[in-house]
């Protein structure tokens, strides 16, 4: 069987645009003489559609679009993901996350998703009922075993601890499927691709059935979908791999011999950088921004974000603003100017001091002689935020937020100050990882000036300040944070590993106390298994202390 | 059977404090000679504990605290809500939302929750498995039918469309329960109390069994729990009603005759005002703020918020800042001063103009001669936000955000400007409802100056501006918004009711386009069935248009 995989990039809710993409991919497959054209999970409405699913007019429009698409099919099969509704259901939402197989002008077969994920960034139980039935479908002398995303993530051979009691893919195998097809929308995190490979390779070589794993690509605000669709033969060998972080179209022939693909992953630096560039580019494309704006401090975070913006928008569409204060180090402006030169972007320099001084003068009656504290530091940061937002509003540029994961975790950032912006580009990347990425950016020639990489990290909000006045060294901090945030380890266990309970306690407390800031943070591009934002939900007000 | 209901206010995660409350209430019940002392759902860990449940050390600490509490019981029963864990579970989370019945020093019976809500503000499938079994428990010659919150919300007689196939309370009835007890944490919305009454009254008179419905009280960031626990006799008559919006302790004797309670609701204005006062007070109490700060504009929103702050903190603990600009109307300051006098609070007046002018001067090279637009308006608002945050930081006051639901819905607010603050006090109250509340505040004497109520609403960010330059009249706008946001109606249906498709389209589009601002908004105190925040989840970037 010849199967065309359309690893395309939908826009959530854009039924017109997504319909066009489906029809375009189908026409291409027909022209190429394939048997079946496959699109990813919920491609017609985009994934995740969230509460749009609760709107009846939306569901009706999706349903009409699906029928319209089916009506345009000929003898070649078209399989795509969409929401369906069972109006006979007397109990529950009556809505399903389904794969539709269409040909000869009709919807011929519907297989809904059985396993409804409801953890981390997934909220699907909120919307979808579990499939009433799982069955194979005969098409062109093959028995298609169709499943949707999570359905394939409960293999008893692979998982030590399973989430679900049923295994719909096993049922398809037991019912005699000869080709497995899984349509998927699986959010990216570094390392996830290896997990997909390991699991799917084991599954196909155990069950002796080839698999087409068709993934979505593109970015939906915080969630990055990396594509990299995979086709395995019945011996568990990876034979075709879709492009990573871009749209792709390719044909898999289950009868053909391919050479085995062994490299499906890149280095952390390369992969994450690609993910973030796509993140910024796709956010801008889907919201209509043509140009980007970054506040350049002279530090490594804003330098890396500016590089990402240049890759996403092109140098001619990136503008930066330098806003030194009296606490800025002599090198800050020079280093920034060197970066600007290396990247070939435009800039302005504007002082915050006269405005901060004026504000401080007027605030005197309120401050009432109280000593200087973090207030004055925050004011500098907020003044910069105000400039950047003014420029963004006036010029229509997308303001990229520059805070990293270590900062956001510990609250080492000013709400309404350096936290201003539409998208927290590196908000899921620890400070120590930023250095690695900077090194990767400079692998062939110096783009980010070495001075920026070498200097001690500082917010430069008071004389001779460095981050390490308030925080543990970043290599220690990031180890603690990674265990706490991503590895679900807790105080006792982390303390044992680190050997310093006091510093662990301090860091964990900072994380817990800063939930209120993160509530008001820009969306964070997710590149780890646990990012701040939608998939991490802690009470803002709570008293749990270990 | 004599049952003491402890309608207390827990702090999420504060196991020590919540344990003390349980032991204190239990001791009181023992002293009063009751048979059973009842605490609400998940009282030991607080509701909703969210991702704290995923922390093993947290679950272990909860489990230890539960055992410690059970160890202190005598022959009097103690029933409270907590999380439990089944370490034998091989599949799923293994965690349950349970009611524990303890006496004679031991946990004697555990009834876990069967119906796991996963809609609106509820995410419980993320954490909890459904109870494996439902059974009655014999205690002191009664057969207790114990259920947890949602378990009682699936009555086949009451609901036209049910969410769940099973009905655990019906099972308890079928198994011979003689007393029903439901421990609950049911978030407040105006009208919800009537729904509870109607459903529970029907259930008890149909099943001929008395019911103790023990509710939690207090505010957990956005979610307000109104208490108002209810005891029904076997004829469906409401015999006891806990206090609304405050802690309560009372004893219900299933053998005693009570006079029927018919008034369980107050007016919208009275109830919502009480809810918001508790909302601000509890947020401050649980986070340690002693004083509040409001930016007073001369408009009705900030006036009502200031009144709420005064009720929550006391006049001596509320400070306001007046920040007129050249566009402020002559009356704005005078009206504010009258309100300040009426409320007996302290204030400062500080000008934004010199700072905005200085900033505009410095921004000239960036603005590059482009005409005035919303940028300059936003700058004024952001300057005010910066002053308020500076005062909040320096003085340690809780900054109350003053935006109403109509504004937040349409994006008629400045991000990092008037949206600054820890808590959006009236963010779930429409503008037209604010007027009603102001009228209620003034019911006995004029507290909010009539001039503030009478003036045309204006952001005062450009000459002679009024809100109605940009928005439809509020009575029309709010009708559209209520249908769209709370009644799940959509474009076609709303247009039919309103009779003006163009204005409906404009409003709906404003709502959809401003998701990005709401992502970065302060938590909103929830008083309707659909508030902005945790319970409403739309994609920030999406292309759905009707």
DSSP string, B208-251: T--EEEEE-EEEETTEEEEB--EEE-TTS-EEEEPPBSS-EEEE
Interface touch B490/A375, C-beta < 8 Å: no
Given B61, B362, B488, which is nearest A354 (Cβ)?
B362
Q: Which of A56, A321, A347, A390 to mutate to test the interface with B (most CBs of B within 10 A)?
A: A390
Q: Cβ-count burial of B134 within 10 angstroms (0-12 exposed, 13-18 middle, 19+ buried)?
A: buried
One digit per residue, the tens of pLDDT, for chain A of length 546 reads 999 999 999 999 999 999 999 999 999 999 999 999 999 999 999 999 999 999 999 999 999 999 999 999 999 999 999 999 999 998 999 999 999 999 999 999 999 999 999 999 999 999 999 999 999 999 999 999 999 999 999 888 888 889 999 999 999 999 999 999 999 999 999 999 999 999 999 999 999 999 999 999 999 999 999 999 999 999 999 999 999 999 999 999 999 999 999 999 999 999 999 999 999 999 999 999 999 999 999 999 999 999 999 999 999 999 999 999 888 887 889 999 999 999 999 999 999 999 999 999 999 999 999 999 999 999 999 999 999 999 999 999 999 999 999 999 999 999 999 999 999 999 999 999 999 999 999 999 999 999 999 998 888 888 888 888 889 999 999 999 999 999 989 999 999 999 999 999 999 999 999 999 999 999 999 999 999 999 999 999 999 987
Q: From residue B169, give the alpha-carbon distance in Å to each of B2, B130, B208.
A: 21, 14, 13
Q: Which CATH class is domain A271-467+514-519?
A: alpha beta
Domain residue ranges in chain A: 2-255, 271-467+514-519
B513 has a chain A CB within 8 A of its CB: no
- Cβ pair A487, A376 in contact under 8 A: no
The overall longest dimension of chain B from CA atoms, in Å, is 85
Would you call B41 a catalytic residue per the annotation? yes
Interface touch B350/A365, C-beta < 8 Å: yes
Distance separating alpha carbons of residues B387 and B399, to the nearest angstrom: 11
A459 has a chain B CB within 8 A of its CB: no
Q: DSSP labels for A303-364?
A: HHHHHHHHHHH-GGGEEEEE---TTS-HHHHHHHHHHHHHHT-EEEE--SHHHHHHHHHHHH
Which residues in A lie closer than 8 A to residue B287 (C-beta atoms)?
Answer: 541
Would you call A41 a catalytic residue per the annotation? yes
Distance separating alpha carbons of residues A405 and A395, to the nearest angstrom: 29
- CATH domain B271-468+515-519 topology: Rossmann fold (3.40.50)
Would you call B496 a catalytic residue per the annotation? no
CA A314 to chain centre: 21
- Strand (E) or helix (H) holding B85: strand B77-85
Distance separating alpha carbons of residues B118 and B126, to the nearest angstrom: 8
3-class SS string, B294-363: EEECCCHHHHHHHHHHHHHHCHHHEEEEECCCCCCCHHHHHHHHHHHHHHCCEEEECCCHHHHHHHHHHH
Determine which one of B2, B21, B113, B482 is catalytic. B113
Determine which one of A41, A85, A271, A460 is catalytic. A41
Distance separating alpha carbons of residues A368 and B346, to the nearest angstrom: 14
- CATH domain A2-255 topology: Nitrilase/N-carbamoyl-D-aminoacid amidohydrolase (3.60.110)
B2 has a chain A CB within 8 A of its CB: no
| Residue in B closest to A117 by C-alpha | B126
Determine which one of A2, A21, A113, A291 is catalytic. A113
Give me the sheet containing B36-38, strands edge to edge: B106-112, B95-103, B77-85, B36-38, B2-7, B248-253
The closest of B101, B127, B157, B147 to B48, measured between CA atoms, is B127
Q: Which CATH number fits domain B2-254: 3.40.50.620, 3.40.50.2000, 3.60.110.10, 3.40.50.1360?
A: 3.60.110.10
Distance separating alpha carbons of residues B113 and B59, to the nearest angstrom: 17
ipTM score here? 0.96
What is the DSSP pairing of strand A211-215 with strand A179-184? parallel
Interface touch B522/A519, C-beta < 8 Å: yes
Distance separating alpha carbons of residues B135 and B150, to the nearest angstrom: 16
Q: DSSP labels for B435-453?
A: HHHHHHHTSSS-SS-HHHH
- Strand (E) or helix (H) holding B493: helix B491-498
Phi/psi zone of residue A221: left (φ > 0), alpha (ψ -120 to 50 degrees), beta? left
List phi, psi (to 5°) of B419: -85, -5
Interface touch A543/B17, C-beta < 8 Å: yes
Which residues in B lie closer than 8 A to residue A399 (C-beta atoms)?
Answer: none
Distance separating alpha carbons of residues A135 and A172, to the nearest angstrom: 6
Q: How close, in Å, is residue A127 to chain B by CA atoms? A: 8
Q: How close, in Å, is residue B12 to chain A by CA atoms? A: 5
Residues within 8 A of B (CB atoms), A 20-49 only: 46, 48-49
């Amino acid at each position: 069987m010849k199967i065309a995989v359309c690893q395309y990039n939908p826009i959530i809710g854009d039924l017109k645009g997504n319909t066009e993409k489906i029809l375009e991919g189908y026409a291409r497959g027909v022209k190429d003489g394939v048997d079946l054209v496959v699109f990813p999970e919920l491609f017609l409405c985009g994934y995740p559609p969230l509460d749009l699913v609760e709107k009846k007019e939306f569901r009706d429009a999706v349903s009409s679009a699906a029928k319209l698409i089916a009506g345009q099919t000929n003898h070649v099969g078209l399989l795509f993901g969409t929401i369906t509704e069972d109006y006979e259901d007397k109990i529950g939402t009556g809505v399903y996350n389904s794969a539709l197989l269409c040909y000869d002008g009709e919807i011929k077969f519907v297989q809904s998703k059985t396993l409804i994920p409801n953890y981390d960034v997934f909220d699907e139980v909120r919307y979808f009922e579990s499939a009433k039935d799982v069955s194979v479908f005969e098409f062109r002398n093959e028995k298609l075993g169709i499943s949707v995303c999570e359905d394939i993530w409960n293999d008893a051979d692979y998982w030590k601890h399973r989430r679900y009691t049923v295994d719909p893919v096993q049922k398809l195998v037991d019912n005699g499927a000869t080709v497995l097809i899984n349509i998927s929308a699986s959010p990216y995190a570094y390392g996830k691709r290896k997990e997909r490979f390991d699991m799917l390779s084991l599954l196909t070589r155990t069950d002796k059935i080839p698999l087409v794993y068709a993934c979505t690509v593109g970015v939906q605000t915080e969630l990055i979908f990396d594509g990299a669709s995979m086709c395995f033969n019945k011996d568990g060998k990876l034979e075709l791999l879709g492009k990573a972080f871009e749209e792709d179209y390719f044909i898999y022939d289950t009868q053909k011999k391919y050479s085995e693909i062994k490299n499906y992953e890149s280095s952390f630096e390369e992969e994450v950088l690609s993910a973030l560039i796509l993140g910024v580019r796709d956010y801008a494309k889907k919201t209509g921004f043509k140009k980007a704006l970054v506040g350049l401090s002279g530090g490594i975070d804003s330098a890396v974000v500016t590089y990402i913006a240049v890759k996403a928008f092109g140098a001619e569409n990136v503008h930066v603003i330098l806003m030194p204060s009296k606490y800025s180090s002599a090198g800050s402006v020079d280093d920034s100017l060197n970066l600007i030169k290396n990247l070939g972007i435009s800039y302005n320099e504007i002082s915050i001091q006269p405005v901060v001084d004026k504000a401080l003068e007027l605030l005197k009656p309120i401050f009432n002689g109280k000593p200087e504290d973090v207030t004055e530091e925050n004011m500098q940061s907020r003044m910069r935020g105000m400039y950047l937002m003014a420029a963004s509003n006036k010029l229509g540029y997308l303001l990229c937020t520059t805070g990293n994961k270590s900062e956001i975790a510990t609250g080492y950032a000013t709400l309404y100050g350096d936290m201003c912006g539409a998208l927290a580009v590196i908000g899921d990347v620890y400070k120590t990882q930023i250095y690695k990425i900077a090194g990767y950016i400079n692998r062939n020639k110096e783009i980010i000036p070495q001075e920026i990489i070498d200097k001690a990290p500082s917010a430069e909000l008071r004389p001779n300040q460095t981050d390490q006045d308030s925080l543990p060294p970043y290599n220690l901090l990031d180890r603690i944070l990674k265990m706490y945030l991503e590895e679900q380890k807790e105080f006792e266990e982390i303390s044992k590993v680190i050997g310093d309970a006091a510093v662990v306690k301090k860091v964990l407390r900072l994380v817990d106390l800063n939930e209120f800031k993160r509530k008001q943070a820009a969306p964070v591009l997710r590149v780890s298994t646990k990012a701040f934002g939608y998939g991490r939900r802690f009470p803002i007000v709570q008293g749990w202390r270990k």
